[in-house]
Amino acid sequence: MAVESRVSAERIQDQKPRDQFKSQLGFIFAAAGSAVGLGNIWRFPYMTGTNGGGAFVLLYLICVLFVGASLLLVEFAIGRNGKTNAIESYAKIRKGAKWIGFLGFFSAFIFLSYYSVVSGWTVYYSIQSFFGLNGLAPDQIGNFFGAFISDPVKPLMYHGIFMALTVGIIIKGVSQGIEKSTKIMMPMLFVLLIILVIRALTLPGAWEGIKWYLTPDLSKITGGVWIAALGQVFFSMSVGMSGMVTYASYLGKHENLPKTSIIVALMDTSVALLAGLIIFPAVFSFGLEPGAGPGLVFITLPAVFAQMPLGSIFSFMFFVLLAIACLTSSISILEMPVSYLIETRKMARTKAALLVGAIAYVMGIAVSFSFGIWSDFTLFGKGIFDLFDYFGSNISLPLGGLAAAILVGWFWGEKDAVAEISNNGEIKGTIVKAWFPVVKYVVPVTVVLIFLSNLGILKL
């Protein structure tokens, strides 16, 4: 008996308490950082440019309000209720729901592999703002970009640098790594955004860009634009991949989840809108094309900076801003599978972070090569990068969001779900009352529409 007691005591002593966010502000910065990323500063502007300007912005804001914020609260509720990794958190509501977490686990590797490659481009562009981009004409910058991404070595170097930064933060843990870093990076991000917005708005002819960007042309609203706006909400707000479930699992029971979800949604949306206020006034000022697609940030915008007084400084600031946004998102993606390996597979945090980071890096090699030496290789009619992006944006995220909404709305039940978000009735208000019907009925219908449209089944 004495031996058994000693062994039990040793086990208890060896168990470390689960790491948590130390403050609500820390969680808000981390969650907002998870949402803010390439989706806001790279994808949102070019989606706006190719989908009618102000009309797309209006629909996007509506979708954020009714779908994005609601799904944020869904993932927050699941995570805080579970108090464990995302896979086990889903299982605490319904045993058969583990597959939703495993979908997020698998998707994390897909997302991280190509996300890190593109993020590496932002690091490279930050450096080249002072050397390789200054004074180049638009067609020369296009050639510069094409030569870089098709190079078999250079992109992998920057892919590795970015992945190392991500892994390094995760190794330090939740409070000392994620919380501390996002408390520094998120204020930096907003400061850089505001400086760049002020500069863009003072350019000659900037007002034409503002009008095009913020004045909705209702004639351009179509079913396809609605679907594009809904899809952008998923990509931009990091819902559907269980990253927010993981983050919320590190929260205490006293936090105000409805208030936090609104703040995070507003911060995320603000970054997207401010990014547009940097890009479109500048693009119109120099007479360039706002509908340039994915090349808007890496080709069109550098061409604007190249012609602007002190352009190299503003170019550097912009790509540092973009790199920070990428990093705050990538750490949330990495934390999701790492938390599972730590808690379920009993793996040390350092080992888990290095393992996931290494796998994602190796997968990213194939993604990077798809722009160069493997550009002719296709699967299901798509290159590796396009295939990964299609799976993540068009299948994984909508499916994960749909499954989470159905789990909460139809299986968890109103009583338990509302008790979780209201702290057992302590928090009241319109959001608490309206949230559950929206999750149960509105969100599933809208997400199904996205899903069917992305698969080509529904033509709008």
Q: Is-contact 67 442, C-beta < 8 A?
A: yes
Other residues' Cβ atoms within 10 Å of the Cβ of residue 99: 12
Q: Any idea what DSSP says for residue 218?
A: G
What mean pLDDT comes out for the span 347-368? 97
Q: Give me the DSSP letters along 136-147.
A: --HHHHHHHHHH
Rounded distance, CA 189 to CA 320, Å? Answer: 9
Rounded distance, CA 323 to CA 120, Å? Answer: 8
The model's pLDDT over 402-453, given as tens digits with 9 standing for 90+, comes to 999 999 999 998 999 999 999 999 998 888 899 999 999 999 998 888 778 7
Rounded distance, CA 2 to CA 257, Å? Answer: 46
pLDDT tier, 111 (very low <50, low <70, confident <90, very high otherwise)? very high
Q: 379: which strand partners?
A: 382
Q: Which of 188, 37, 185 is nearest to 114 (CA)?
A: 37
Q: Is-contact 282 128, C-beta < 8 A?
A: no
Rounded distance, CA 12 to CA 398, Å? Answer: 41
Q: Is-contact 213 42, C-beta < 8 A?
A: no
Q: Which two tokens stand for residue 455?
A: 């698969």
Q: 164: which strand partners?
A: none
Helix/strand/coil (H/E/C) assignment for every residue in 270-333: HHHHHHHHHHHHHHHHCCCCCCCCCHHHHHHHHHHHHHCCCHHHHHHHHHHHHHHHHHHHHHHH
Place of tokens 């190796």: 362
Exposed / middle / buried, residue 405 (Cβ in 10 Å: 0-12, 13-18, 19+): buried
Q: Any idea what DSSP says for residue 382?
A: B
The pLDDT value recorded for residue 293 is: 65
Of 98-102, 231-235, 456-460, the poorest mean pLDDT is in 456-460
What mean pLDDT comes out for the span 326-349? 95
Q: Is-contact 459 417, C-beta < 8 A?
A: no
Portion of the chain with pLDDT greater than 90, in percent: 66
b/e sequence 121-154, b meaning 16+ C-beta within 10 Å? bbbbbbebbeeebeebebeebbebbeebbbeeeb
Q: Is 344 helix (H, G, I), strand (E, B) or coil?
A: coil
pLDDT tier, 6 (very low <50, low <70, confident <90, very high otherwise)? very low
Amino acid letter, 403: A
Other residues' Cβ atoms within 10 Å of the Cβ of residue 44: 24
Q: Which of 228, 236, 237 is nearest to 449 (CA)?
A: 228
Q: Is-contact 109 359, C-beta < 8 A?
A: yes
The model's pLDDT over 26-37, given as tens digits with 9 standing for 90+, comes to 999 999 999 888
The pLDDT value recorded for residue 11 is: 40
The model's pLDDT over 227-274, given as tens digits with 9 standing for 90+, comes to 888 888 887 888 888 999 999 999 988 899 999 999 999 999 999 999
The model's pLDDT over 182-194, given as tens digits with 9 standing for 90+, comes to 999 999 999 999 9
Rounded distance, CA 422 to CA 340, Å? Answer: 27
Q: Is-contact 447 401, C-beta < 8 A?
A: yes
pTM more than 0.85 = yes
Q: Is-contact 261 60, C-beta < 8 A?
A: no
pLDDT tier, 12 (very low <50, low <70, confident <90, very high otherwise)? very low
Task: Indicate whether 2 pLDDT > 70.
Answer: no
pLDDT tier, 16 (very low <50, low <70, confident <90, very high otherwise)? low
b/e sequence 361-370, b meaning 16+ C-beta within 10 Å? bebbbbbbbb
